[in-house]
Amino acid sequence: MTLHVETPLVESRTLSLSSGRSVWLKLDALQPPGSFKMRGIGHACETYRARGARRFVSSSGGNAGLAVAYAGRLLSVSVTVVVPQTTTARAVELLRQEHAEVVVHGASWQEANELAQSLVGASDAFIHPFDDPLLWQGHATMIDEVARFGLKPDAVVLSVGGGGLLCGVMEGLDRHGWGQVPVLAVETQGAASFNAAMKAGHPVELEAITSIATSLGAKRVCERAVQWSRESPIQSVLVSDTSALDACERFLADHRILVEPACGASLALAYEKAPELEPFSTILVVVCGGATATIDQIRQWSAKFR
């Protein structure tokens, strides 16, 4: 028994036709709290509770906090989540629905994270949103499910924020002997901490997050993500906020699932027939999800770019 669920793996007829290749979707937007985060965070929360934790403390702009709050409710462990001021009212509402204590602090996740870490007491466990080997172990289970299904993709497309999903997928690929399957790591311009780290050869801190894809808003990617980029064929790809938003709307129409711009960034590659997809015939796109954006908000953001 796990806190996450096994999610559907489906071939998208629409995206296959628009991209000119076979596009498969790992629909982790259908995890109970709305994103892939449930896999790793559920595993971490179960592990820390077994070690005696009586409260979970986390820092998150939305999805990681929601996963912690959901896990805490199911495990009967109290939860405190510190969120930055950029967090949407929708995200705060969803956190409180899960009975989490919500503290709003700081202009970015970094400031919220500093406060969260200062709140951790002797009987508490700090649940990092992306930089913890327990998270990567949990996220890797999505590749286990793909392997059980019998699909070996020519390439994997996923979004990168702090690097937790990337590390988990790489761990999963590696343990199935698929370490040489190329991974296209997608970010929006203005939230490209992984791209900056790839250029520098080590994690670097962005001055600010200027993208509307705030779920990608880690100013510094985790060290393990950069290490994976040295060991495996990972390509950094950037898309515009407009592309990510358009992909969200098109995906909702095509698949009746609403995702955040952070997830739309990956979907944009298939919708726009990105040249980076050209060498591959079978592509796996991780539909990582996101529960904190509404369609009205996505359309308001889109209107700013018109």
Pairing status of strand 9-11 against strand 22-26: antiparallel
Q: Strands (DSSP E) along 98-201, which ranges?
A: 101-104, 124-127, 155-159, 183-188
The edge-to-edge listing of strands for the beta sheet with 78-83 is: 101-104, 78-83, 55-59, 124-127
Which amino acid is it at 241?
D
Q: Tell me how far CA of residue 292 lies from CA of 33, 65, 132, 224, in angstroms.
A: 10, 11, 23, 27
> What's the Rg (C-alpha) of the chain?
18
Considering the domain delimited by 38-129, tell me its CATH architecture.
Answer: 3-Layer(aba) Sandwich (3.40)
Q: 152-184: per-residue pLDDT in tens?
A: 999 999 999 999 999 999 999 999 999 999 999
Domain extents in the chain: 9-36+134-304, 38-129
Digits of tens for pLDDT over the chain (306 positions)? Answer: 789 999 999 999 999 998 999 999 999 999 999 999 999 999 999 999 999 999 999 998 789 999 999 999 999 999 999 998 888 888 899 999 999 999 999 987 888 999 999 999 999 999 999 999 999 999 999 999 999 999 999 999 999 999 999 999 999 999 999 999 999 999 999 889 999 999 999 999 888 888 888 776 788 999 999 999 999 999 999 999 999 999 999 999 999 999 999 999 999 999 999 999 999 999 999 999 998 889 999 999 999 887
Which amino acid is it at 100?
A
SS3 assignment, position 278: coil
Instruction: Pick the closest to residue 246 from 218, 222, 265, 273 (CA basis).
Output: 265
Instruction: Pick the closest to residue 124 from 156, 82, 83, 92 (CA basis).
Output: 82
Q: Tell me how far CA of residue 242 lies from CA of 73, 148, 260, in angstroms.
A: 36, 36, 13
Question: What class has domain 9-36+134-304?
Answer: alpha beta
Burial of 61 (0-12, 13-18, 19+ CB in 10 A): buried
9-36+134-304 matches 38-129 in fold: yes
SS3 assignment, position 266: helix
